[in-house]
Structures are given as structure tokens and as C-alpha cells.
Amino acid sequence: MSDPIEMITAFEALDSRGRPTVGCTVVTRGGARGRAIVPSGASTGSHEARELRDGGARYGGYGVRRAVANAEGELFEAVRGIDVTDQGAVDRALREADGTVDGGRLGANAILAVSVAAAQAAAASRGLPLYAAVSEGLRTLPMPMINIISGGAHAARALDIQDFLVVPVGAATFAEAIETVARVRAATGEVLRDRGATWALVADEGGYGPQLSSNREALEVLSDAFERAGLAPGDDIAVAIDVAATQFHFPTEGTYIWETENRRMRADELVEELVAWSTDFPIVSIEDALAEDDWVGWRTATQRLDAIQLLGDDLFVTSPDRLRRGIEEGVANAVLVKPNQIGTLSEAREVVEIAHAAGYATVLSARSGETEDHWLADLAVGWNTGQLKIGSTMRSERTAKWNRVLEIERELGEDIELARPTFGTGS
């Protein structure tokens, strides 16, 4: 039964970094309501959809009053009267109203807020939880990829590598997976204390932000933490890395520079460093190993690191076109999916479907500037992404998503299983 969109209200909210973002409520003629507050990234690729910010003195120029006005104005007029349960029609109308490739005229932040709020309203109209409303088949709970140590743009560049994460590969349930990682995080704090590392800083995504002697030392800390927690590397627990190489790439020089180690490398040298790490540590996934437009370097990485998951974030920016190019050129084997990189849920879901059809793995991901909403967790279940990357096991904007998956697991019981990603073509 059709349930047309009848009203949209929006407001300026705050994300987890204290910066403004767009909150939105969609109301249908039948009385269904959906609400969403959208996230914002710090480590952003140049090919991402464009948020609309106000400039000026308020919030250092990060205000979003214009985006809020657009949500209640032009975007509302574009979707008014459309059946809220037809997500494709809603999202097409939003993109057509904006009229730009990157969503920058009306604001990708405003567009996504309406898109997600409409999905929430559609689920309410049908009397379903969001994960069930967006699902078209067998659901699995995502394997969590959880932040433990941060650097780069997430931790005042205390390290060059942006994130060191762990994957509880031996867990039988999602609840066990979260419990395992909580043990690792506690043990990591003990190891850092024993090493005399300064780790008072908590990074944007809830991980530790220690001052260490090198990027490699972070991997040594995790190895010690695994031992202290009584976990078998590779069997119980594994490592994932977000290199975020675009952040330290200097394209005019053709080099990558690690400032904390005073090291200057070519693409092939950076790849060989990652190969060495993958030999010495139980690494199953490397994200953004090379810069966003270093396609030659990415091909080298794909050849040399084919036994693990090579995850494109800045490389693919949740873009169907960029992902198709990667598939055609045999670059990477997995894609990070961030809805706010592309602008609407329909386009983000298209990326998931393209990836799965090509045999690429998918990891649904939060942003460094997150909100208390948990709709991302529902999407990970409903879209069968197989993996979910939110942040650490603390800070409520992170735990809200983990808690939602725990709730879904409790509700569905034996009807749902934890996904078992293969982590690379050579696995």
C-alpha cells in the first residue's frame, strides 16, 4: 500500500567531534515517522560527495543551516507525494533536485539525511525493523572490524598509519566477537602502560592514540596484547590496517612520506613494507594501501598482497563507476561502503550489489564524526555486507551500532549466523 511523504522537518545537530551535521524527520500521510542524523568524515577522499557548509564565524564555518533549509525546502518539494516505501524513487528525486554529480548544490549531507529518514519511515510504515525492511534474502550478522590504536587524521597524526584494528575471526557469535575485542582493548592499554607509552589521548573513533617509536610498533603492541589476552593470533584474532595512504601521499613528487619516522618511499617500497608486515603479523585486511588516484601502485599492491583483503575506501569512495573501474582493472578485492560518500542509500546499496556480483567483499563503515543513530547496523544486517567497521568498543556513538547488532542477534537467535569473510583471493 502506498504511503506518500507528507512532511519533512530538519535541524542542525552535532556529531561526535562537536561539529554540526544535519538531522531530519520524514512523516508520511499515514503517520509513519523516520528520523536520521548523518555522520561526517575527517579523512575524506577528493572524489566524495560534497557536504554543504555555511562558512562564516559560526562553528568555525562548519554550520549547516543552509543544508537544513534545503532539506525542508527544495528536497522536500522533490519528494513530496512519493511513496516512502519506494526508496529508489525517493533517492532519484533527491539527486535530480540537486542536479550535480557530487550533491554539492543542496548538500550531500542534506540529501543523505532525507534518504535515510525516508528509509526509516518506510520501515515504520510497514511495521518492520529497518534491517528487515531493506533485506531481500538471507541475512547474516557482520563480522566486526574494531579500532584499537589510531593515528593519522583520527589521532592528531601521532602515527602515520591511520588505524590498527582487530578482527575476532574465531568468534562463534557476534556477542562473543565483541567480548573478545573488549579483552584485546583492555590488554592493549596494559601493554602500552608497561611500555611507558603516552596514551591519554582517545582518538576520534574511540581507540588509543599513543605516541610510539614507529608505525610497526603498533603491530608489536597488538601482538603482545593478544598474548596477554590469551588469544591465538590468526585463529582467535587477526589484524586489519587502515593505511589511509592518501593522507601522506605527495603526487607531484611521486612519494609517500611517513613524518613520524622521517621516511620517504615510492609506491613499490610502501607495498613491500606492507608485505613484510603481513608476513610477520596476522594481518587479514589492509585498507587504502595506496593513494586514491595511484592506480598503478594499487595494481602492484593487488599483485603482491593477493592473499589478504585489499580494501578500497578513498580509492572507490562508494562510487559505482570507480568500483567498476577497479573490477575491470583487477584492483583491490574489497570495497568500504560509506553512504555519505555517495549521497543516497540506493547508490550505496548499488555498490554493495556490484561488489558481490564481482566477488568483491564489502565492509559497511561509519565515519570519524558519527552520531548516536544505529541505522548503519541495520543496513549491515539487511544488506548482508559481511563486515562492519564502526570504531572501538567505547564512545556511545560507536557502541550504539555494536549494541544494535547485539540486539538483533538476541531477537533472531538461531535464525541468523555470524558472517565468515574469506579476507582475500588467496584465502
Q: Is there a binding annotation on residue 313?
A: yes
Angle at alpha carbon of residue 212, lines to 208 and 213, rounded to 5°: 165
CB 119 within 8 A of CB 379: no
CA distance 102 to 105: 8
Q: Residue 338 catalytic?
A: yes
Instruction: Kindly state the cell numbers that stand for 299.
Output: 595494481
Q: Give the β-pairing of 5-14 and 20-28.
A: antiparallel
CA-based nearest residue to 15, from 373, 374, 402: 373
Q: Is there a binding annotation on residue 72?
A: no
DSSP-derived 3-state class of residue 366: coil
Q: Is there a binding annotation on residue 102?
A: no
DSSP-derived 3-state class of residue 45: coil
CA distance 258 to 229: 31
CB 370 within 8 A of CB 391: yes
Q: Is there a binding annotation on residue 368?
A: yes
- Catalytic residue among 205, 292, 350, 370, which? 205
Q: Is there a binding annotation on residue 54?
A: no
Distance of CA 161 to the CA centre of its chain: 16
CB 347 within 8 A of CB 117: no
CA-based nearest residue to 29, from 3, 10, 59, 57: 3
What count of Cα atoms within 13 Å lies in the side-chain half-sphere of residue 99?
4
Q: What is the DSSP string of 308-327?
A: SEEEESTTTTT-HHHHHHHH
Q: For residue 237, list its beta bridge partners.
A: 233
CB 329 within 8 A of CB 364: no
Distances from the Cα of 334 to the Cαs of 129, 350, 357, in angstroms?
28, 14, 12
Q: Residue 205 catalytic?
A: yes
CA distance 289 to 270: 8
- Catalytic residue among 273, 338, 347, 409, which? 338
Q: Is there a binding annotation on residue 324?
A: no
What's the CA dihedral at 79, 83, 85, 86 to 10 degrees?
A: -70
**Residue 406 contacts by C-beta under 8 Å, 6 or more apart in sequence?**
174, 175, 178
Annotated binding site for Mg(2+): 242, 287, 313
- Annotated catalytic residues are 205, 338
Annotated binding site for (2R)-2-phosphoglycerate: 162, 338, 367-368, 389
Annotated binding site: 162, 242, 287, 313, 338, 367-368, 389
